[in-house]
Copies of this chain bind each other. A is one copy, B any other.
Amino acid sequence: MSCSKVGKTRLFTPVWESSRHPPGMHMNVLIVLAHPEPKSFNAAMAAAARATFAARGHVVSMFDLYALDFDPRSTRANFTSVKDPDYFNPQIEETHATEVDGFSPALEVQMRKLEACDLMIWQFPLWWFGLPGILKGWVDRVFAMGRFYGGSRKYKTGLKHGKRALLSLTTGGPQAAYEKDGFNGDIDAILRPIQRGMLEFVGFDVLRSNIVFGPARLSAEERAAALAAWRDRLAAVESEAPVDVGRY
Contacts and interface: CB of A to CB of B under 8 A. Distances in A.
A133 B133 contact: yes
A36 B196 contact: no
A130 B134 contact: no
Interface in A174-217: 180-181, 184-186, 189-190, 192-194, 196-198, 201, 216
A90 interface: yes
B37 A89 contact: yes
A86 B87 CA distance: 45
Contact of A87 (B39, B66, B172, B198): B39
Contact of A184 (B73, B90, B127, B248): B248
B74 A132 contact: yes
Chain A to chain B: the 7 pairs with minimum beta-carbon distance, closest first: A185-B248, A133-B137, A129-B197, A72-B133, A129-B193, A186-B248, A133-B136
